[in-house]
Amino acid sequence: MERLLGKPWIWSFAGAAVVFGVTIAFTGGRGAGGMLSATLSLAVFTVIVGVAQMFVITLGPGNVDLSLPANIGLASAIAMKVMAGDDAMVPVGIAAAIAGGVAIGLANYLLIRALRIPPIIATLSASFIIQSIDISYGRGLQIKPPPGFADLTSLQVGGVSVLAVVTLIFTIGAGVVLSRTIYGRSVLAIGQNPRAAWLAGVPVERIRCLTYILAGALGGLNGALLAGYFRGASIDIGNEYLLASIAVVVIGGTSVSGGRANVPGLWGAALFLVFLQVMLNTFGTDAGPRLVLTGLVIIAVIVAAGARRKFGGARRPATDRQALEAADAHSGTS
């Protein structure tokens, strides 16, 4: 039990269980099954965007992608226009949305690398440009998703979302990539200490570029899926993921200082955030208190993590070991 409680991700699931329990107690147990099913379906989109943000944040202090909401909005418009209501065009539409996200991720990295400006400034500036493109490209777009694609994004088997099962498999793969592949170990090594990673032979800038491209691609995919689930594109469809993408990473146990990621915690944090929204809606409150509570939770988690490191509750992996593992992996493939 002590070992289990020492896992950072367990607390996000515990928080989700507490919020769910409070909500069920308030409703007298009515609609518990439907609430679980709906929450799991909505958590999928938060998990996908959380994986994107997690890889970027793991690169180290200052790395964050604030263009994800605008990316999602534009991708939803691209996907709907390319699909044009035709199920045969679904793969092409999804590919187009992902390609748009890849272009955005590459542009983000080039802004950071070429202009030498902090990622938070570069990606925020990029988001304004993307929103301008989205306004001219997708405002007033009334194209509905292909029926088969719309049904697929909301398909459930035994009350469990099929998309959630696919996303679970995807997150398991993301965990394997981080812990078992050259790329994943390089991301962790850079987050630990970029200079040590570079001295050990890790191609730091190449890995950073790939990471921002990966985040952009996942944002594009998320936009296409959201358009299918909500039956249409919208320039505002990704707005709520600006805070949620960061919150789900922090609450899930990923270190904001980089070098340590936590994939299982993304699911617990996503469920917690969606349950929190459901609870506040059940209590009749609006979006304002939800945003305030989410912000307070993020602050509390960061403070608690800092206190834990200060008093020796959690040790940071050895920088040199992490960098050397990544360097050995690169040298083994050269």
What pLDDT does residue 236 have?
A: 87
Average pLDDT (200-218) is 95
Residues of the chain above pLDDT 70, percent: 85
The model's pTM is: 0.86
Please give the structure tokens belonging to residue 81.
């226009």
Closest to 19 measured CA to CA, from 283, 253, 243: 283
Instruction: Give the single-character DSSP code of 196.
Output: H
- Mean pLDDT in the chain? 85
pLDDT in tens, 282-331: 777 776 777 787 777 777 766 665 555 555 444 444 444 555 555 555 55
Helices (H), the chain: 2-5, 9-27, 32-58, 68-83, 90-115, 119-138, 147-153, 162-180, 182-192, 194-199, 204-229, 241-251, 264-282, 287-310, 319-333
How many angstroms separate the CA atoms of 282 and 20, rounded?
11
pLDDT in tens, 111-123: 999 888 899 999 9
What pLDDT does residue 331 have?
A: 53
Domain boundaries along the sequence of the chain: 33-333
Q: What is the fold of 33-333?
A: ABC transporter involved in vitamin B12 uptake, BtuC (1.10.3470)
What pLDDT does residue 307 have?
A: 54
Average pLDDT (246-264) is 88
Instruction: Give the single-character DSSP code of 157.
Output: E
How many angstroms from the chain centroid is the CA of residue 1? 29
Please give the structure tokens belonging to residue 311.
């008093």
Cβ atoms of 234 and 70 closer than 8 Å:
no
3-state secondary structure of 160: strand
Please give the structure tokens belonging to residue 334.
């050269």
pLDDT in tens, 62-98: 899 999 999 999 999 999 999 999 999 999 999 999 9
